[in-house]
């Protein structure tokens, strides 16, 4: 064991020398230093060593099954009688839903309650850290952030943990939210300057969402932004009927933020309003739930907001990746932010001021919208709210948190989506419903079908669609090699031609991929990395 530890630390001494902060503002090439690879959220790579002319030769370089015992080497073990408050289940095994960081030849990977350093050349473990949980929902973990030689990740019981990247030893941990109130934490933090920006989830009880910035050295809170207005002077304060509804209104920010260094604005997307399937006690649009907001990362002050689903009663968390891009629109260059939302609509906004440029459906038959306002906002149909007898809704949930991607070469957004219906039943008809206050049946009596769709950012029109036999919600990666990486919902990891969706390569895995694919250069060779459950798979071209 001692010799293994010495060997592991020697690997880190060679490769793990801390993160150059300049890498965070550059396209990801020989590093993947933050969630999505860079601040833009585009999930696009400028690498083209692997391209549509040679992708058919892609082969497995290594695979690495993550070691995730219930009792780890740092502080932990199974929950015992007399331990602090607990609900949920400690994680035995791992499911990688987030994206590993790659810095100086080392991959930093996380799953609920666990973190690892992995040699990117071989897939061998360097160190493993285990967090002793106090409970929380162990639904997933979306990755880590890095500042200098320090790592940061969130735990299911809502702590922000900082580790030494060289050894995996804990530096400090700070509470983000109280697990006793049934908050739970899944996002990847994002480092912006000297800020570690972290969000949370929680919709079992009617609690309030907020985004926080932590000092990377001490863990002290620098600022907190609430996802509902706190003062009568705040925009949107009157979109809630009373203080109780406002301060129990949800709007959880559980998608990692994106950031524009030129404008010095971060973009945070928010979840649905609480109670989830009932709006009786929260009449109004319920800002800033189901929205995107632009914040100053140094102060947390909001510059603008735009709401995608007013008065959401369909559980359409607006926590998709907000993609930043600069391109021509109606004859002039614009700074834009775009996203395909879970409500079935594709949106493009001017990211300097939040003004709407495009609002168009990317599903075939959304039935919840009464009309589109001239300013691009959608007006919901009150008749489509959940009811005691059941209400037929389309879409069920068109997409979710896995990253879509934007390719600046084609001008197309690519999104993994599902086309289908849901029947929503209200279960609490009181004037003050609580919690979920209803239930959905999933795809409804008409079933559902998935697809990967390519969307023209200028018009919102579908350029091509690759049909899938099951839910197509998945993470995607586009590259300068004219490739789009995703999966076929039948365990085949695949590459499509970005121009037309033609399949060019596939490799069958033991399970469908569980995170967004990523790519990087290592010793001059391009690799494609993806996770399926507890195993990482690295592909490259043969020598």
As annotated, the active-site residues are 315
| DSSP β-bridge partners for residue 107 | 102, 118
Closest Cα partner for 404 from 12, 7, 40? 40
Task: Annotate 211-240 with b (16+ C-beta within 10 A) or e (fewer).
Answer: bbbbebeebeebbebbbbbeeeeeebeebb
**CA 336 and chain centroid, separation:** 19
Residue 507 to residue 364: CA distance in whole angstroms: 30
**CA 468 and chain centroid, separation:** 22
The torsion angles phi and psi of 15, rounded to 5 degrees, stand at -100, -35
Three-state secondary-structure class, residue 442: coil
Contact 395, 344 (CB under 8 A): yes
Contact 516, 525 (CB under 8 A): no
What are the residue ranges of helices labelled H in 393-517?
none
Q: How many CA atoms lie within 13 A of 58 on its CB side?
A: 26
Residue 55 to residue 483: CA distance in whole angstroms: 9
Residue 259 to residue 297: CA distance in whole angstroms: 9
């Amino acid at each position: 064991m001692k010799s293994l530890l010495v060997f592991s630390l020697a690997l880190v001494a060679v490769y793990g020398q801390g993160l150059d902060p300049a890498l965070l503002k550059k396209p990801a090439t020989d590093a993947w230093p933050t969630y999505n690879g860079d601040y833009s959220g585009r999930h696009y790579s400028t690498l083209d060593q692997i391209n549509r002319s040679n992708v058919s030769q892609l082969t497995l370089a290594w695979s690495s099954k993550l070691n995730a015992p219930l009792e780890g080497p740092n502080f932990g073990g199974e929950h015992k009688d007399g331990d602090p408050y607990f609900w949920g289940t400690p994680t035995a095994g791992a499911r990688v839903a987030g994206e590993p960081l790659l810095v100086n030849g080392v991959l930093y990977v996380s799953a609920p309650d666990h973190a690892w350093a992995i040699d990117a050349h071989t897939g061998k473990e360097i160190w493993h850290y285990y967090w002793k949980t106090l409970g929380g929902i162990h639904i997933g973990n979306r990755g880590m952030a890095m500042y200098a030689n320090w790592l940061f990740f969130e735990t299911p019981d809502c702590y922000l943990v900082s580790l030494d990247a060289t050894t995996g030893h804990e530096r400090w941990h700070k509470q983000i939210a109280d697990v006793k109130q049934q908050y739970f934490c899944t996002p990847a933090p994002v480092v912006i300057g000297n800020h570690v920006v972290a969000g949370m989830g929680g919709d079992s009880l009617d609690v309030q969402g907020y985004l926080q910035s932590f000092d990377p050295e001490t863990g002290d809170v620098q600022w907190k932004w609430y996802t509902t207005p706190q003062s009568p002077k705040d925009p949107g304060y009157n979109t809630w009927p009373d203080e109780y509804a406002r301060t129990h209104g949800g709007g959880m920010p559980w998608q990692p933020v994106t950031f524009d260094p030129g404008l010095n604005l971060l973009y945070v997307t928010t979840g649905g309003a609480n109670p989830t399937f009932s709006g009786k006690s929260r009449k109004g649009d319920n800002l800033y739930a189901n929205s995107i907001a632009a914040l100053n990362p140094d102060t947390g002050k909001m510059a603008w907001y735009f709401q995608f689903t007013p008065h959401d009663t369909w559980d359409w968390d607006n926590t998709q990746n907000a993609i930043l891009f600069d391109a021509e629109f109606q004859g002039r260059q614009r700074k834009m932010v775009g996203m395909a939302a879970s409500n079935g609509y594709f949106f493009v906004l001017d990211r300097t001021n939040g003004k709407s440029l495009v609002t168009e459906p990317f599903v075939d038959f959304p039935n919840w919208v009464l009309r589109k306002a001239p300013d691009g906002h959608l007006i919901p149909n009150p008749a489509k709210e959940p009811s005691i007898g059941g209400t037929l809704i389309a879409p069920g949930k068109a997409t979710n948190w896995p990253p879509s991607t934007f390719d600046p070469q084609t001008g197309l957004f690519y999104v993994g989506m599902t086309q289908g219906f849901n029947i929503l039943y209200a279960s609490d008809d009181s004037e003050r419903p609580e919690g979920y206050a209803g239930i959905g049946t999933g795809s409804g009596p008409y079933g559902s079908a998935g697809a990967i769709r390519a969307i023209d950012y200028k018009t919102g029109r579908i350029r091509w669609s690759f049909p899938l036999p099951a839910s197509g919600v998945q993470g995607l990666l586009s590259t300068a090699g004219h490739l789009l990486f995703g999966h076929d919902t039948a365990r085949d990891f695949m590459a499509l031609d970005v121009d037309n969706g033609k399949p060019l390569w596939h490799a069958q895995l033991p399970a469908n991929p569980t995170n967004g694919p990523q790519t990087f250069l290592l010793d001059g060779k391009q690799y494609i990395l993806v996770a399926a459950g507890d195993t990482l798979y690295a592909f490259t071209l043969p020598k």
